[in-house]
């Protein structure tokens, strides 16, 4: 049997009553006093018969399963204020008594039930007349406080709702009704915070519901609270952006740190349209409306979203985006869960890598042309000089022996053409030769990692296993484009040396005095003995379709930086190519 307890007369809302022996402080009494102002009492029907509606105002009754016995009548307080009826649905008698005494200090009439079914029945039959509800979220018997509060809001739309919950703000944000306040956690000081005072004043002319989640399983409640707080912290700090929208107007009730960084503005408390007018123009609000209406998820990859910013260029972001409806226990949609990834930096990095790779390939071609031009200039200079000498001698002979003038003209033309050919070759060499190396201070590790990525992409072997042993942590003074060209060439050679096997490479760096040493180790067949003496010679190659330019060009680049390049076979198979470049002091 559940007892409905009459509460004694007490001060008006806002007046502080003496402290009780149960240890409830003046702050608790002031807060509950303010709650009494927010709640409005309404008349109850007369007791003494089977209960069919709201409890009688000012009555002290004992309720059995299906009947109510009349108790002493209670009129208005001595100060002329009407008493406010609050239903307490709580299994823990101590917590219920503590709550009742807090309400007593504000002149509220408290009614206590311990059965979940009875609490639900009272909400259904008397919800429109009840002025307040204090409920344990975990009443049992398939009934929870979240559902009771939602049901009360349905039958009493003007209810002002506050929560004290040990399940954390994330659970409240999803399960709590709009316009509510999270008061605190159970198991401690059950007083109302200042935020609830403001809610009381804001809803002075409305009936209200104070929902306090209490647990008679203190240890379990503390564990759940700790777990939920940890989850809340995880959601706040996860790299994915997350937000929770409430109601058909899509009002933000939660946004984690990643979401705030993405949008560069505070959004909690405002609607999507209020926060992002541009979102409506781009069709996102229409998509949210459809998800809320149909209950179907929305998933998009790489969608473009632009955001207006005051005084600076508009921001364009590329997002992986998911909109998922949030349903209550009855399956009704009451919000939307937003989750996604910001792909902007990733896509921009891919574009930069593609551009850099194209530039490196172009530089490699230009340098290869320079090497080829140098070789051609050297090899063709002697035969061209010989041709020039022969033509000159023929001209002298024709002049001495009076040969036809037309023959002399032909010889002069041939001589001029030979001279012109030599000039073209030398000019081509001068055009493709680089000037002095433009060195700058760069971090060695990211430079090498980018070069490896581009080499694997251009080689088409993404299955290669690469182990990094990067012990050099300082900076080097190099031409970054040329240095990456060297590393790309060494990585590609190592990948090609593996043949059909999966390439297995090691890229290592160490600091050696004023130089940084970088090595590429492979597990291929190694360098043939006959190739070792001329491995760095131009046009020397062991590959059927190779040109023999890459290693020669790489060695030349390293030497122009003041370093050295070496090659050696490993004792356990494979080969190692190493080079040094100056450290930046």
pLDDT over 70 percentage in the chain: 58
- Asked if residue 18 has pLDDT above 60, the reply is no
Domain boundary among 342, 358, 387: 342
- Domain assignment of residue 7, yes or no: yes
Range of the domain at 65: 2-222
Q: Which of 164-173, 197-206, 258-267, 541-550 has the lowest mean pLDDT?
A: 197-206
The CA distances from residue 2 to 91, 118, 562, in Å, are 10, 9, 93
CA 310 vs CA 48, 342, 504, 510: distances in Å: 68, 21, 52, 48
Q: Does any domain span residue 230? A: no
pLDDT at 557 > cutoff 80 = yes
Task: Return the pLDDT at 543.
Answer: 64
> Is there a single domain that holds both residue 179 and residue 194?
yes
pTM: 0.34
Pair (423, 563) in one structural domain:
no
208 pLDDT tier (thresholds 50, 70, 90)? very low
pLDDT tens for 427-445 read 555 545 555 567 899 999 9
Q: What is the pLDDT of residue 476?
A: 95
Q: Are residues 313 and 372 in the same domain?
A: no
Residues 131, 249 share a domain: no
- Final residue belonging to a domain, choices 432, 464, 489: 432
- Judge if 101 and 204 occupy the same domain: yes
Please report the DSSP string for 23-69 in residue order.
---HHHHHHHHHHHHHS--------SS---SSPPTTB--EE-SS-EE
Q: Are 64 and 201 in a shared domain? A: yes
Cα distances (angstroms) measured from residue 55 to each of 48, 84, 129, 174, 476 = 11, 12, 9, 32, 84
pLDDT at 417: 66
Residues 326 and 473 in one domain: no
Q: What's 450's domain CATH number? A: 3.30.565.10
What would the pLDDT profile of 167-192 be if each residue is shown by its tens digit?
A: 666 666 777 777 676 665 555 555 65
Please indicate, yes or no, whether residues 20 and 91 belong to a single structural domain of this protein.
yes
pLDDT at position 124: 83
Average of pLDDT values for 543-567? 81
Report the range of poorest mean pLDDT among 163-167, 256-260, 408-412.
163-167
Output the domain CATH number for residue 361: 1.10.287.130
User: What pLDDT was estimated at residue 433?
Assistant: 56
Residues 62 and 143 in one domain: yes
Whether 178 and 132 map to the same domain: the answer is yes
Q: How far is CA 519 from CA 129, 527, 573, 577, in A?
A: 82, 16, 15, 6
Half-sphere exposure of 479 (CA within 13 A, CB side): 19
Number of independent structural domains in the chain: 4
Query: Is there a single domain that holds both residue 90 and residue 141?
Result: yes
pLDDT greater at residue 491 or residue 15: 491
Pairwise pLDDT comparison (278 vs 30), residue with the higher score: 278
Question: Which of 432, 448, 483 is the endpoint of a domain?
Answer: 432
Q: How far is CA 200 from CA 40, 70, 102, 126, in A?
A: 11, 32, 16, 22
CATH code assigned at 89:
3.40.50.2300
Max mean pLDDT range (326-330, 491-495, 504-508): 504-508
For the segment 401-423, what is each residue's pLDDT rounded down to a tens digit?
Answer: 777 777 777 777 777 667 756 66
Measured CA to CA, the distance from residue 464 to residue 413 in angstroms comes to 58
Most confident of 16-25, 358-367, 457-466: 457-466
Q: Exposed/middle/buried for 312, CB within 10 Å: 0-12, 13-18, 19+?
A: exposed
Percent of the chain with pLDDT over 90: 17
Supply the CATH number for residue 262's domain. Answer: 3.30.450.20
Q: Would residue 180 count as lying in a domain?
A: yes
Which residue is associated with the tokens 């059965």?
115
pLDDT attached to residue 212: 46
């Amino acid at each position: 049997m559940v007892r409905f307890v009459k509460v004694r007369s007490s001060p008006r809302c806002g007046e502080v009553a003496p402290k009780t022996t149960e240890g409830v402080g003046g702050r608790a009494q002031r807060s509950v006093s303010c709650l009494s102002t927010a709640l409005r009492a309404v008349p109850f029907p007369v007791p003494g018969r089977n209960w069919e509606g709201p409890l009688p105002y000012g009555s002290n009754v004992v309720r059995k399963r299906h009947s109510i016995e009349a108790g002493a009548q209670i009129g208005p307080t001595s100060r002329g204020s009407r008493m406010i009826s609050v239903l307490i649905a709580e299994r823990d008698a101590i917590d219920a008594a503590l709550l009742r005494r807090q309400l007593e200090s504000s002149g509220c009439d408290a009614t206590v039930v311990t059965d979940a079914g009875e609490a639900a029945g009272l909400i259904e039959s008397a919800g429109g007349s009840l002025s307040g509800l204090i409920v344990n979220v975990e009443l049992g018997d398939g009934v929870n406080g979240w559902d009771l509060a939602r049901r009360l809001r349905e039958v009493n739309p003007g209810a002002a709702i506050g929560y004290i919950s040990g399940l954390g703000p994330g659970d409240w944000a999803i399960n709590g009704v709009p316009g509510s306040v999270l008061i605190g956690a159970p198991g401690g000081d059950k007083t109302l915070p200042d935020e609830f005072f403001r809610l009381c004043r804001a809803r002075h002319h409305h009936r209200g519901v104070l929902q306090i989640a209490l647990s008679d399983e203190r240890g379990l409640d503390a564990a759940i609270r700790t777990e939920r707080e940890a989850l809340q912290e995880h959601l706040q700090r996860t790299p994915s952006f997350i937000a929770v929208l409430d109601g058909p107007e899509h009002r933000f009730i939660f946004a984690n740190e990643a979401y705030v960084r993405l949008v560069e503005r505070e959004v909690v408390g405002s609607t999507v349209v209020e926060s992002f007018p541009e979102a409506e123009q781009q069709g996102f609000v229409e998509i949210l409306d459809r998800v809320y209406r149909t209950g179907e998820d929305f998933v998009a990859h790489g969608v473009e979203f632009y955001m207006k910013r005051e005084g600076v260029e508009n921001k364009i972001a590329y997002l992986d985006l998911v909109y998922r409806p949030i349903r209550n226990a009855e399956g009704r949609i009451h919000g939307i869960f937003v989750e996604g990834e910001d792909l902007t930096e990733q896509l921009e990095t891919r574009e930069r890598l593609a551009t850099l790779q194209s530039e490196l390939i172009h530089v490699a071609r230009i340098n290869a042309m320079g090497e080829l031009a140098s070789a051609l200039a050297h090899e063709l200079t002697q035969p061209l000089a010989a041709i020039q000498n022969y033509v000159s001698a023929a001209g002298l002979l024709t002049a001495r022996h009076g040969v036809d003038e037309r023959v002399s003209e032909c010889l002069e033309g041939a001589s001029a053409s030979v001279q012109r050919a030599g000039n073209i070759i030398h000019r081509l060499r001068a055009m493709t030769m680089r000037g002095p190396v433009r060195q700058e201070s760069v971090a060695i590790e990211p430079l090498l990692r980018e070069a490896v990525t581009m080499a694997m992409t251009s080689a088409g072997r993404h299955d290669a296993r690469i182990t990094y042993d990067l012990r050099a942590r300082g900076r080097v003074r190099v031409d970054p484009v040329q240095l990456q060209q060297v590393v790309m060439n060494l990585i590609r050679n190592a990948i090609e040396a593996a043949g059909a096997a999966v390439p297995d490479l090691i890229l290592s760096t160490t600091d050696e005095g004023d130089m940084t040493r970088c090595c590429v180790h492979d597990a291929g067949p190694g360098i043939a003995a006959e190739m070792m003496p001329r491995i760095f010679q131009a046009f020397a190659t062991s590959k059927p379709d190779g040109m023999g330019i890459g290693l020669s060009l790489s060695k030349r680049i390293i030497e122009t930086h003041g370093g050295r390049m070496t090659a050696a076979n490993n004792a356990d198979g494979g080969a190692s190519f190493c080079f040094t470049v100056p450290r930046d002091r």
